[in-house]
Chains A and B, each alone.
Chain A
Amino acid sequence: MAESKLVPVPSRGMVPERDVSDRPVLETLHLGVDFGGLVAVDEFNMVIGKTEIAGLIGPNGAGKTTVFNLLTKVYQPTRGTILLGDKDTSGMNTSQVCKAGMARTFQNIRLFNDMTVIENVLVGHHNSIAYHTPNAIFRLPSFWREEKEARKRALELLSIFNMEDTAEAKAGSLPYGAQRRLEIVRALATNPTILLLDEPAAGMNPTETAELMENIVKIRDTFNIAILLIEHDMRLVMGICEGIAVLNYGKIIAKGTPEEIKSNPLVIDAYLGKKDDDEVEDDA
């Protein structure tokens, strides 16, 4: 898919060539967290371009989800800085980070199961709706207008995944794949500048994964946002990510384009493994 060259930006990282004139959407500097005496993540430095699709990979327990939790302030970082666009997020709490433009999905799906599909999207939409509660109680005309506007936008977002038909179904009753897609829609509804996807393809079959890959690229192109994803499916990561960081024992051991990562001996050793043996057999 998108073939692009990575170029350096003034700070220290690399971003896709087309994003070089824009301010990176996310920059982390010396980010780290300790749990008791355990250093869970250390010296995490990453730069993500304005419309970059970036990947975060590494073995289980390497600290990938911890990084997401640091970025979204579920955990407070022990050290380091997170810049979201031009905003320093230190001192912000989770909901403020969301308002500042970061949205995420979860490794284990966390939808609001008792609410309908469209209500889940509307909750994501929460921040950008202007109406106030008194209007909602007394059903003032402005409430109707705004509510209609919000529902229209929610349906538009659902249509990305062709989910308009299930809008009134309970989120908990959707099949697994649809729940994963709904999580992405709900995150998009918060109007993010960067979307964090935690194992979006987990549990999907190859057809669904291929479809998901197309959709991730489509989302980036439609909304002009950056996407950072954690994923174990290497076809997805190598297929659509422009920049990849590899995490092992809480530290970044390699960064680069998919080609660079694939051939990096450290990464092969720690995570990808040598597949030469199989290939030799195949050839024989």
Chain B
Amino acid sequence: MSVFTTIVSQLINGLQTGSVYALIALGYSMVYGIILLLNFAHGDIIMVGAYTAWLFMVNFSQSPIIAVLAAIVASTVLGVVIEKVAYTPLRQAPRLSLLITAIGISFLLENLAQLIFGAGAKPMPKIVNVPSISLGSVSVSGTALVTLVVSVVSMLLLNLLIKRSKMGKAMRAVSEDTGAAQLMGININRTISFTFAVGSALAGIGSVLYSAAYPQASPTMGGMLGLKAFVAAVLGGIGSVPGAVIGGFCIGIAEAGASAVGLSVWKDAVVFIILIIVLIVKPTGLLGRNLQEKV
């Protein structure tokens, strides 16, 4: 394999995992933008999405399409339920309580999954049945192709939603100034729930794409995936939607780069080194707003 081929194929690998990170990072960033919460249960929503897809593929032996839709619906519902049950009662509480609650929810979900499905990983049947294509000397797997297309389409739709729709404008208004948004007649509770729903739906899509690439579901899969997406969100500037996308792709490509130079054992470390560098050099991230404390 020529150097060029290696670079291109690693780039495609990077874009593939990167787009999954980006989808998940979007959920982190949107939720942080609107209620300043680092939702550490977000990663475990992906795990639940993956198990849902697995359940539908194996037990109900239905088509991949239905499994995918079920995973997205389950993630969305779970995200909104968590917000209503765990976070809404703490709206006025100190932010630290909210953060600890999020971590608690994360443990709860992981242990529930172990209780129900056992601690071992479940092998995921093939979800994506698309033949690979070759671009010159580089072969692109069907999964990578589908992952990229689905992610990009989701991001474009999200962009339209945020830029154009009434709910999107409400989300942006609430994240800029909750008080003023409320005085303009925006229903804060509904806007926050909607944000959780959209973020979790994206996580659901991410969960399916991830388990198409690494075909298994395990109770702790959300942990590392969630952390890396969190790093992506911080790198892009937490709270920023385009930042989450850029951060996701950067992290994915950085990982692939580490593997390409033979440091694949180190690829997790590379991600966290990036986090440390960002926090030292530019804590607000690439596109982050300068945080001003609201009075």
Task: Please report A residues at the B interface, Cβ cutoff 8 Å.
Answer: 72, 74, 93-95, 98-99, 103-104, 106, 110-115, 119, 122-124, 126-127, 129, 131, 133, 136-137, 139, 147, 186-187, 190
Whether A98 contacts B185 in the complex (CB less than 8 A), given A112-B180, A137-B157, comes out as yes
- Pick from B160, B169, B182: contact of A119, CB below 8 A: B169
Say how far B60's CB is from chain A's closest CB, in angstroms.
27
- Asked if A124 contacts B165 (CB within 8 A), the reply is no
B166 touches A126 (CB 8 A): yes
Residues of B near A113 (CB, < 8 A) are: 176
Contact status B185-A126, CB under 8 Å: yes
Complex CA gap A98/B179 in Å reads 12
In the complex, chain B residues whose CB is within 8 Å of the CB of A72: 183
Question: How many of B's residues come within 8 Å of A, CB to CB?
Answer: 26
Pick 13 A–B contacts, CB within 8 A, sort by A.
Answer: A72-B183, A95-B188, A98-B182, A99-B185, A110-B180, A112-B173, A112-B176, A113-B176, A114-B289, A123-B173, A124-B185, A126-B169, A137-B157
Q: Are B169 and A122 in contact (CB under 8 A)?
A: yes
Q: How far is the CB of A7 from chain B (nearest CB, A)?
A: 32
Which residue from B167, B176, B184 sits with its C-beta under 8 Å from A133?
A: B167
Q: Which of A95, A103, A147, A186 contacts B182 (CB 8 A)?
A: A95
- From B157, B179, B180, B187, name the one whose CB has the most chain A CB atoms within 10 angstroms: B180
Pick from B160, B161, B172, B289: contact of A115, CB below 8 A. Answer: B172
Instruction: Name the CB-closest residue of B to A139.
Output: B160
Partner of A114, one of B161, B168, B172, B179: B172
| Assembled-state Cα–Cα distance A190/B168 (Å) | 17
Q: Write out the residue numbers on chain B whose beta carbons fall within 8 Å of the beta carbon of A115.
A: 169, 172-173, 176
Residues in A neighbouring B268, C-beta threshold 8 A: none
* 10 closest residue pairs by CB, A with B: A136-B165, A98-B185, A110-B180, A94-B182, A127-B185, A112-B176, A123-B173, A133-B167, A95-B185, A95-B182
A136 and B194 CA atoms in complex are apart in Å by 14
B-chain residues with CB within 8 Å of residue A186 when the two chains form the complex: 184
Q: In the complex, which residues of chain B have a beta carbon less than 8 angstroms from the beta carbon of A127?
A: 185
Residue B229 at the A interface, CB < 8 A?
Answer: no
Q: Is B271 an interface residue (CB 8 A)?
A: no
